[in-house]
Structures are given as structure tokens and as C-alpha cells.
Amino acid sequence: MATFSSVTSQHLLAAIAEHDERGAEAFLASYGFEPSTDAQILHFGRRYDARAILAVAHLRATGRIATPEEFRSSLEQALTIARRRGFEVSGPTTATRRAPSRTTGTAPRKPATPRKPAEPEKPPAICPTCSMALPATGVCDWCG
């Protein structure tokens, strides 16, 4: 199973550049991928087959290409990595699972108290003679 954590945005950009240079059909064929539209990377208004781009990016990152079969179990992980690297991705996602709420036998929650806004930072004290900021001692290092 391929892990995509070592894939960086530079690896993805290099794979996209190779795709643009070769053309979609030649790119997919050279790495053994069939065209698919269920998972795509969108980059500057163009759509790219996410599996093939991620597989080639994985090759550039690790020296081993991710095979089409490996995406059966790791497509969602791969798409998440691409999203985290700043790419717009369309494809399958699973809903976030939440733990069931336990409302029986517990005290009701208090409403969240609003935070007090941060106080503005006070400007430093300035020496009246030389206009330098005074240290914590309050005595100017230059004027004494």
C-alpha cells in the first residue's frame, strides 16, 4: 500500500508539468493508468486525473510508483494529502464521524463564556533627553 505523506506540492507540480508536456493519453498510458473522472485535481482551470498525478508524484518522492490497484484502499488518503498541499481536489470523501452524544445522566453544559478581548500593548517609555526607549529599570542607558 502506498503512503503519500512524503509527496510535496513540488512533486505534484512536477507530475502536472509532465502531464502537460506529454499529453493526457501518453501520460496515462506510460504509467499504466486508465482515464477516470471520479477523482480529479484542478490546477489553473485544468482537470487532471488524480490517481495518475498522485502516482507520479509518489514516484518522484519515493522512487516507487503507486499502482492503480493501490488506490482502491488509499485514494481518500491520497486526495487528502493533495488538499493539504494546497490543491483543489474533486473526488470521494467520507463524512466526518462523530462519537455518539451522551446526554443521559450528565449535567447540562454551561454556555461558553466569551473571551475578553486582548488589551492593546502599551508603548515603551521614552527618554525625554535622547528619545530612546527606556529599559525596564526606567533609567536611560545613554543619559543616565
Closest CA to 4 of 94, 77, 93, 67: 77
Q: Which domain holds residue 79?
A: 9-90
In a domain, 137, yes or no: no
In a domain, 30, yes or no: yes
Give pLDDT tens digits for 86-134: 999 987 654 333 444 454 555 666 677 777 777 777 788 888 888 888 8
Distance between CA atoms of residues 140 and 125, nearest Å:
10
Q: Which amino acid is at 107?
A: A
In a domain, 84, yes or no: yes
Give pLDDT tens digits for 38-85: 889 999 999 999 999 999 999 998 888 888 788 777 788 888 889 999
Structural domain count, the chain? 1
Distance between CA atoms of residues 143 and 103, nearest Å:
67
- pTM for this predicted structure: 0.61
Mention every residue, 6+ apart, whose C-beta is less than 8 A from residue 56.
14, 15, 18, 19, 27, 31, 65
Distance between CA atoms of residues 135 and 112, nearest Å:
40
